[in-house]
Structure 1
Amino acid sequence: MWARSSSSCRDELGSAVTPRSSHRTDPMHQPYPAAILLFGAPGSGKGTQGVVLGALPGFFHLSSGEIFRELDPDSADGQAVAEYTSGGDLVPDDFAISLWRKQLASLIADGSFAPDRQILLLDGIPRNAAQCEMISGDVDVKL
């Protein structure tokens, strides 16, 4: 159901991603948040497991579906997501990751997520090798 990877996302997504050491930091000297990726087919229980694990001390559950659903439907981002999903399409990778990064930054800024004390449980992102590569500079995926 969930995968931890300190070596790469190759096993789950078929494409290697350079790992981040838990001791490395970004240019602003903030540690990369440790992350666990929740994988599974639709309806397999990723969200349920994320909610359960996210309630435990030291964990924070972040669902891409929740990010999309919580967007203001009158905002440009909300309208764009609605346009894609109403047609049965997936939100494009670059746009999905952009929204995810905005939400992650907001959660850190308002103190909801403390990357120095909590492990990020990712549900719905990354959903493919391209997204895995895109977030490789944002989180330290644990195996």
Structure 2
Amino acid sequence: MRILLIGPPGAGKGTQAVRLAAHLSIQHISTGDLFREHIAHGTELGQNAHTHIGAGLLVPDEVTIGVIKERLARPDTERGFLLDGFPRNLAQAQALDGLLADSKLRLDAVLDLELPEDQVVRRIAGRRLCRQNHEHIFHVGYSPPEVAGICDLCGGELYQREDDREATVRKRLEVYRNETAPVVDHYQAQGLVTTISAHGQVHEVLHRALDAIG
């Protein structure tokens, strides 16, 4: 099974992608993970990606597509895969269609995680990380610490990332609307899209995704 998971920032794509791929016993393919892998191995693609990431720029389409093409060619994708973070724009979606067509393959499903923008902003802007351990994550509304601004687990200071500030989140949503939302229209025209509410507990959203793909 070949699946694309798409949705706005804050919809829980990463969380759902890991769980859904594991449940289906297919490969979870994340562009972020691939960039880190290529950078760590010093490949030409990795060096190119690192140059742009280090400058705070988006990795060019041709580099991103090259990374995906290399990953899809590995034998472990024969059983299937779940794409997370790609394609992020229409040009990448069209390139993916071409890559799959070259191998006489196609996507089986596109799952569009839907979450109202006010909830996206609330989810992301309320997030707080521990300065001593970034794996310790709290939320001022959903999972607040016992003492405001202090990590329950290690006593470290909690802070809000710049990327999580409301103004930044709204800019990210604008980029999503302009660049990534047309990808949904592209696959909607192919009859592949199922829209899933990303509201609720992680297991609830996972069950909706599994129901959608049968």
Q: Please report the TM-score for the alignment, with normalisation by the length of structure 1.
A: 0.64
> Residue deviations 1:17-49, cap 9 Å, x none?
xxxxxxxxxxxxxxxxx5321112234311111
CA distance in structure 2 between the aligned counterparts of 1:57 and 1:46, rounded to whole angstroms: 16
Partner of 2:72: 104
Residue 135 (1) aligns with residue 103 (2): no
Number of equivalences: 103
Residue 45 (1) aligns with residue 12 (2): yes
Partner of 1:126: 87
Residue 94 (1) aligns with residue 62 (2): yes
Query: CA contact under 8 A between 2:39 and 2:50: conserved in structure 1?
Result: no
Specify the code of the residue in structure 1 equivalent to 2:77: F
Residue number among 41, 63, 84 corresponding to 2:30 in the alignment: 63
Q: Please report the TM-score for the alignment, with normalisation by the length of structure 2.
A: 0.44
Q: Secondary structure at the match of 1:62?
A: strand
Which structure 1 segments of 5+ residues have no match? 1-33
CA distance in structure 1 between the aligned counterparts of 2:9 and 2:56, rounded to whole angstroms: 15
CA distance in structure 1 between the aligned counterparts of 2:99 and 2:47, rounded to whole angstroms: 26
> Residues 70 and 89 (structure 1 numbering): CA distance in 2 closer, same or farther, change over 3 Å?
same
Look at both structures and tell me which one has the larger radius of gyration over its CA atoms. 2
CA distance in structure 2 between the aligned counterparts of 1:42 and 1:57, rounded to whole angstroms: 24
Residue number among 48, 52, 70 corresponding to 1:84 in the alignment: 52
Q: Secondary structure at the match of 1:61?
A: strand
- The structure where helix makes up a greater share of residues is 2
CA distance in structure 2 between the aligned counterparts of 1:77 and 1:121, rounded to whole angstroms: 21
Q: Secondary structure at the match of 1:85?
A: helix
Q: Secondary structure at the match of 1:55?
A: helix
Q: Secondary structure at the match of 1:56?
A: helix
* CA RMSD of superposed structures (Å): 1.8
Q: Secondary structure at the match of 1:37?
A: strand
Which structure 2 segments of 5+ residues have no match? 101-105, 110-191, 193-214
Partner of 2:130: none
CA distance in structure 2 between the aligned counterparts of 1:87 and 1:55, rounded to whole angstroms: 34
> Residue deviations 1:38-81, cap 9 Å, x none?
11223431111110011113432111111101114433222211
Higher relative contact order (CA 8 A, sep 6+): 1
Instruction: Give the % identical residues.
Output: 41
CA distance in structure 2 between the aligned counterparts of 1:60 and 1:77, rounded to whole angstroms: 21
